[in-house]
Amino acid sequence: MRNLVLILFSVVSGLYAQEPKSLLWEVSGNGLEKPSYVYGTMHVSRKIAFRLDDVFYTALQTSEAVALESDPATWLDFQDEDYFDLMGMRAADHQGFYIYPFVMENPKKENLAQVLSFEDQLLNGLLYRTSPFSQDFEEETYLDMFLYQAGKKLGKDVVALEDLEESRALVGRAALNAMRDKPAEWLQKRLQQQSLPNLMQEAYRNRDLALLDSLDQGMYSNYYLEHMLYARNRNMLERLVPLMHSRSVFTGVGAAHLPGEKGILELLRQQGYTVKPLVSRRTSKGTNAKDALEKAHIPPVLTERRPDDGFFSLKLPNKLYPINEGLGTTYVSPDLANGSYMLIHRMPTHHFIKQESVLTLADIDALLFENIPGTILDKTQIEKDGYPGIDIKNRLKNGKHQRYQLFVTPLEVLVFKMGADGGYVSQASDTVFNSLRFRPETDLPAKIQSPYKDYHFQIPGNYRFTNQLRKGTRQMEAYDTDSYFFMQKASLADMGYLESDTFELKQIIKRFTSDLGLKPKWGKASARRLRSLSDWHQDTSKKMHLETRILGPDYYLIGCVTPSAEKADAYFDSFRINLPEEQHPYKVIKDTSMLFSTNTTVPAKVFVMDANHTKNKKSYMPFHKKATYTNANNEAVQVKVIKSHDLYGLPSLDSVWARRKAKYRKSGFILGPDSVRVDTTAGLAYFDIQLRDTATQRTLWVRNSLRAGLLHELRAVRDQEAGPSTFVRNFFEHFKPLDTLVGSPVLGDKVPLFFYALRAKDSLALTGYKSVYFDKRHIDSLTHYISNYEWAAAQQPIQSDLIHKLIQINDPRVRPFLWQLYSQAYGNSDAQIQILQALTKKADEKSVADLLTLLETDLPLPNSEQEITSIFAPFFDKPELASALFPELLGYSGVPEYKAPIISLLATYYRAEALKPKVYKRYRNALINDAQLLLKRVLAAEKSEHAHFTYHKKERNRLAGLLSDYMVLLQPFSSDKKVQRFMEKVPRSQTPKVQVQYVLNQAILNGDTKPALVNDLAKDPESRVLLYEGLQKAGKLSWFPKTYAKRAELVASTLIRNQDNPEIKLEFVKKQSLTRKGVAYVAYFFKETGKKGRIKIHVLAYTANDKLSEPSYNNGGFELENTENETDGLRLVLEEFELAERKRAMVYRPNAYYFGVW
């Protein structure tokens, strides 16, 4: 809610220390007929804010209007618009969609207890801003609300000085860069003795505006002060000045807005007004005035109010604001002037389909003593229009009175709660509660028509439908003498993924029925609807009929529990869905945050944060903003605005759209029809495309628009046949980027500008070099600057990037230049490595020859071994190049960074029989020496006290893999005494990979003599599968002990090898054939029992071509909750496998503790 203004006081600029200390200032002169007043408030209820002198009340009483930063009466209207939606910050995590909008929760007694004692934070922030921990140190409300109420009680107009949307935008921007890099030196010293809040409170207590200003200047950035204070000061004065010329005004604004050269007081002086402080003593006169204002009440004007479904009516001074959709629907109707409110909870019981916890009036009565706050003064059984209830009057410890009325209906529990300051409830509650009326039970049917015309149906007249008009899930329930009917509608604005229609239709029903313990029998499915039938528990006379439907982004679950199939058919046949029609008036909005205009029914965003936001960002740097515009019917359009770096440029519109299509293709979409339109007069270009996927009737409608330096992208979900809704169509068709000076035009050659900035050592070049587009036109410039420009140390990355881009250009001039550059770049290894990486990408004999020639010319010194690995990487699956690379490449294996990549490549070729041992024979002494040293490193790593840590285990395995490469390469020289001595020491290693390679070497040496180590390695789960696959490849699988050759034993070995703790207790459970998306798998299930009794279920699944050590699927272990048994676990992991590639789906675990938290 108003958390943007819940700051102790906003912060400001420089006030003159010689000014008198006061919070109240009189404004006169410059043509004012009567003086006006400005008071510096603190937005809290603490007593520090209420040190009010007699002159304060005199000024307030003699004024003709009260002006505040904003009008509290409008705050809930903005809350209803959803503040985070206005800020463009709505979350986009859609996992669990098939559960949360559709599963019905059966409330428990503790849920009702929470409702009874519920005190909404939003309501407290609106009316009181009190804390339960400091009530003895607080007033009845906060000072701003006190001024609002005083103005109303004294019959004065209350005026807002700010546009609330603009104020929110300014405050949002201020937060992006709030603090100075460090506080001012004088303030650092003060902060060693006192905290900043204490310093500010002390300054306010002493009415020291100069100190407040100094604290702001010392702590906060100029950017923050401009947006948080100065701009808002100017805005407030624009409204205040003409107001003061029409009447005497008492203005209350945050104290930080007053002082300083850009504060309200100085701005008034600059406009010719006389501003002087007012001070006086605080006597009984002021105390009496305050008491009189607090005790006074205004007779409210009561109007009949109803919720969406009209189930009840109540006469209230304000409309019903839905503020919470947690355990049902919560409404508030505040009477701000009197400090009163009506809070209404509607908690659905769902007991027609869930009987775990049925709440009765007796259950409610038993909860009252512990959960009604304060003392219960009176409790009476009542009845209203046929529904039983309880009337409760209570008094809180602070003297405030409350009154409750609670009712139980067949569909819900209703809690009406009235609260207020002092004794107002006792005076006014009878009138309000006596006006309460319910819709009585009826035998007549009801026709339900969506206000947006997207559905209509017929049901019994006894129904509950709390949300028909606003954002969120729509849920309807109804009943008659023997049947129960329901409908749930959820909308999903997922702009990044399309799912199979059939899967979604089925998954919603599966989730719903599994929660009820039912097994559905599937009916006939179509592209947009699916029906099912389930037996209704032990009551064989009834069935649960379900149907799911999809149209565009809207999902419907329609259900009926009835003994009559005819009733179910009649209900389903009456149900019609259509594209929605927007019912709110369209208007042109100008969104200055996202830089566009369109015709729509939703407000512009007040502020959207740049996803690439950095402090002190330059105007030429890129930004990326994204916001979703959602109407009250959950129809949504996503808008992105992308400003590239000013150095980003492309040669043509075709190249721009080609890049967009490549992006969509990379995201996994099937590209549908597209169209291009150019408006040369407006300087606009449009590119529309439909993004599709298989097995769905839905599509993403995407529109790109390019204007100068800004690219906008619109996305919306639509049905392929039915098309978009009127809301979406209007948004798209009227969308137009604003004509701004933001950014440099994308179309054009930015290379000259880049080189100009480079020569000038401008940060434009340093920040934007990666954005520059080069082609054949720029080869001469590229080669000139790469080789002739004097590159400073900070500019070396630019040179490397230019080399990389030059290499990408297919032109005969490039290769000779690179050869020359390589020879000249003696001190620039980054450049040399980039050249080598580019040359080896083709992985042919010519690239091998170039590589060897350049390495011989000058050997670059890399920053890491990985850089050399990347040079050789393209050769690993090209054994035909072995003779071209070796033995020449071995000449560089003495360089530490080159050693491992070269040895691994050599061993790969040897294993593939692509070269003979004679090729590297003359290097065998070096290989032996390296292998001996490496063995010592492996043994040392095994003995390390950190050997069990994940990082050290990975490093040990890396060393072991390299050691096994050496063992492979040395095996042909087993007659060499040095090799023999080395091999004799290898069994000292306990690392499975080394041990297995030792066995394989022995297999080759000793022929049919099985090494003694085989049985031990087969017995050890960490080495078992490695040994099996190694012997299989060597043709010695007969050596492998049959005891451990069972498939489950080998799969268990694969599982254990991938665990951080190999000493886990593992039990094979079962083997099962599975199918997912048409692919057949064989899955193995294991149960792991941890030290504290925690259980995990592991699943490894293989396709026909998978190696045992490389399954296609490994769930990583599914940990069970204490409330879940092994049978639950096997069901859950099977579901996890089935849903592994379904981005919106998640395993449903109703017995897990966190699934009860909504």
**Crossing angle for the helix pair 845-857 and 814-824, nearest 10 degrees?**
30
Q: Looking at residue 75, what is its pLDDT?
A: 80
Cα gap 373→396, rounded to integer Å: 6
β-strands 401-408, 412-419: how paired?
antiparallel
Cα gap 571→733, rounded to integer Å: 37
Give one DSSP letter per residue of 1106-1150, joined into a string.
--TTS-SEE---EEPPTT--HHHHHHHHHHHHHTTT-TT-----T
Kindly report which listed range (71-85, 104-118, 184-198, 935-949) carries the lowest average pLDDT score: 71-85
Kindly report which listed range (241-250, 356-365, 503-512, 727-736) carries the lowest average pLDDT score: 356-365
Average pLDDT over residues 995-1014: 81
Q: How many CA atoms lie within 13 A of 793 on its CB side?
A: 0
Residue located via tokens 């268990």:
1052
Average pLDDT over residues 439-446: 95
CA dihedral 673, 679, 683, 686 (to 10 degrees): -10
Q: Which amino acid is at 238?
A: E
Q: Looking at residue 741, what is its pLDDT?
A: 84
Q: Is pLDDT at 134 greater than 80 in this prediction?
A: no
Cα gap 782→751, rounded to integer Å: 10
Burial class (CB in 10 A: 0-12, 13-18, 19+), 984: exposed
Average pLDDT over residues 938-963: 77
Q: Looking at residue 325, what is its pLDDT?
A: 83
Q: Looking at residue 807, what is its pLDDT?
A: 87
For residue 813 the two structure tokens come to 């001039």
Cα gap 1086→1122, rounded to integer Å: 18
Q: Looking at residue 135, what is its pLDDT?
A: 38
Residue located via tokens 């369109």:
598
DSSP-assigned beta bridge partners for residue 671: 691
Average pLDDT over residues 412-422: 89
Cα gap 885→875, rounded to integer Å: 9
Taking CA atoms, 177 is separated from 261, 308, 501, in Å, by: 21, 43, 46
Local structure of residue 917 (DSSP, 8 states): G
For residue 948 the two structure tokens come to 């069990």
Q: Looking at residue 568, what is its pLDDT?
A: 96
Q: Looking at residue 951, what is its pLDDT?
A: 57
Q: Looking at residue 138, what is its pLDDT?
A: 32
Q: Is pLDDT at 1089 greater than 80 in this prediction?
A: yes
Local structure of residue 271 (DSSP, 8 states): T
**Residue 977: how many other CB atoms lie within 10 Å:** 7
525 in helix, strand or coil? strand
The 10s digit of each residue's pLDDT in 961-997 is 999 999 999 999 999 999 999 999 999 998 888 989 9
Q: State the CATH architecture for 445-577.
A: 3-Layer(aba) Sandwich (3.40)
To which H or E segment does residue 479 belong?
strand 474-479
Most confident of 33-47, 337-351, 380-394: 380-394
Q: Looking at residue 399, what is its pLDDT?
A: 81
Q: Looking at residue 1, what is its pLDDT?
A: 33
Q: Looking at residue 8, what is its pLDDT?
A: 34
- Identify the CATH assignment for 587-737 out of 1.20.1500, 3.30.70, 1.10.238, 3.40.1000: 3.40.1000
To which H or E segment does residue 157 belong?
strand 157-160
Q: Is pLDDT at 949 greater than 60 in this prediction?
A: no
Q: Is pLDDT at 126 greater than 70 in this prediction?
A: no
Task: Tell me if 731 sits within 8 A of 586, measured CB to CB.
Answer: no
Q: Looking at residue 122, what is its pLDDT?
A: 56
- In terms of residues, how long is the chain? 1158
Q: Please, what is the Cα angle at 797 between 796 and 800, to 5 degrees?
A: 90
SS3 for 1029-1060, per residue?
Answer: HHHHHHCCHHHCCHHHCCHHHHHHHHHHHCCC
Q: Looking at residue 1092, what is its pLDDT?
A: 77
Average pLDDT over residues 592-596: 94
Cα gap 583→946, rounded to integer Å: 67
Kindly report which listed range (492-496, 739-743, 770-774, 785-789) carries the lowest average pLDDT score: 739-743
Average pLDDT over residues 171-191: 88
Q: Is pLDDT at 717 greater than 90 in this prediction?
A: yes
Average pLDDT over residues 1091-1108: 92
For residue 1123 the two structure tokens come to 């409330």
Q: Looking at residue 19, what is its pLDDT?
A: 61
Phi first, then psi, for residue 104 (nearest 5°) are: -95, 125
Average pLDDT over residues 61-76: 90
- Whether pTM > 0.85 for this model: the answer is yes
Give one DSSP letter per residue of 407-461, joined into a string.
EE-SSEEEEEEEE-STTHHHHHHHHHHHT-EEPPP-SSEEEEE-TTSSEEEEEES
Most confident of 3-17, 66-80, 995-1009, 1031-1045: 1031-1045
Cα gap 509→502, rounded to integer Å: 11
Q: Which amino acid is at 35?
A: P
DSSP-assigned beta bridge partners for residue 407: 389, 414
Cα gap 835→1005, rounded to integer Å: 43
Q: Is pLDDT at 5 greater than 50 in this prediction?
A: no
Q: Looking at residue 308, what is its pLDDT?
A: 94
Residues 6+ apart with CB under 8 A from 806: 774, 779, 782, 783, 786, 814, 817, 818
Kindly report which listed range (360-369, 643-652, 858-867, 997-1006) carries the lowest average pLDDT score: 997-1006
Q: Looking at residue 762, what is its pLDDT?
A: 93
- State the fold for domain 303-438: Protein Transport Mog1p; Chain A (3.40.1000)
CA dihedral 840, 845, 848, 853 (to 10 degrees): -130
Cα gap 343→416, rounded to integer Å: 6
Q: Mean pLDDT, the chain, as a whole number?
A: 88
DSSP-assigned beta bridge partners for residue 973: none
Residues 6+ apart with CB under 8 A from 391: 378, 379, 380, 381, 382, 403, 404, 405, 433
Burial 38-59 (b: 16+ CB within 10 A, else e): bbbbbbbbbebbbebbbbbbbb
